């Protein structure tokens, strides 16, 4: 799989661990995130991830900021992007199963790195259920 990842200053350690995990599983990762904890603006790192997903250059996107909210709001402005804010693997499972999310937003200040890896694993391995959920997903875009 091709996966794009972006993060602000709250997530460089998370990103590093997630990239290592993904690459160890054979995935190709494009890194748009910052590598330091110096303050930056999350939209600058979320928009490139969303562009990759929207344009079909990435199968999935992963974005990380302190609460996960700001960067999720940013990427959800892009066509064809459905970002889900997930702080447990159970929520990651449901956001893929029922909502066909294609971008995972992780709140670095509310999860551990180990939890984030579990969330990523669950997100990328869960298939969209379709069926009754497809009609709902079709109504998301404006």
Residue 142 pLDDT: 85
Question: Which residue out of 9, 47, 78, 98 is catalytically annotated?
Answer: 98
29, two tokens: 């990762």
pLDDT tens digits, residue range 81-125?
999 999 999 999 999 999 999 999 999 999 999 999 999 999 999
142 catalytic? Reply is no
Q: For residues 65 and 16, what is the distance between their CA atoms, to the nearest angstrom? A: 14
Backbone angles phi, psi at 4, to 5 degrees: -100, 140
pLDDT tens digits, residue range 20-66?
999 999 999 999 999 999 999 999 999 999 999 999 999 999 999 99
Q: For residues 107 and 87, what is the distance between their CA atoms, to the nearest angstrom? A: 6
Question: Which residue out of 9, 65, 78, 86 is catalytically annotated?
Answer: 65
User: Which residue, 102, 104, 65, is CA-closest to 82?
Assistant: 102
User: Roughly what angle, to the nearest 10 degrees, separates helices 89-97 and 113-125?
Assistant: 20
- pTM confidence score: 0.97
Residue 39 pLDDT: 98
78 catalytic? Reply is no
Average pLDDT over residues 4-8: 98
């Amino acid at each position: 799989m091709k996966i794009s990842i972006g993060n602000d200053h709250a997530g460089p350690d998370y990103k590093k661990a997630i990239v290592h995990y993904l690459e160890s599983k054979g995935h190709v990762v494009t890194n748009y995130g910052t590598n330091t904890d110096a303050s930056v603006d999350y939209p600058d790192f979320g928009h490139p991830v969303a562009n990759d997903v929207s344009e079909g250059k990435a199968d999935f996107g992963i974005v990380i900021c302190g609460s996960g909210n700001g960067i999720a709001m940013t990427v959800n402005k892009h066509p064809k992007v459905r970002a889900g804010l997930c702080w447990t693997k159970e929520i990651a499972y449901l956001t893929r199963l029922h909502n066909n999310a294609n971008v995972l937003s992780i709140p670095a200040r509310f999860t551990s790195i180990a939890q984030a890896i579990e969330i990523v694993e669950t997100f990328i391995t869960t298939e969209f259920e379709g069926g009754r959920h497809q009609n709902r997903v079709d109504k998301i875009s404006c």
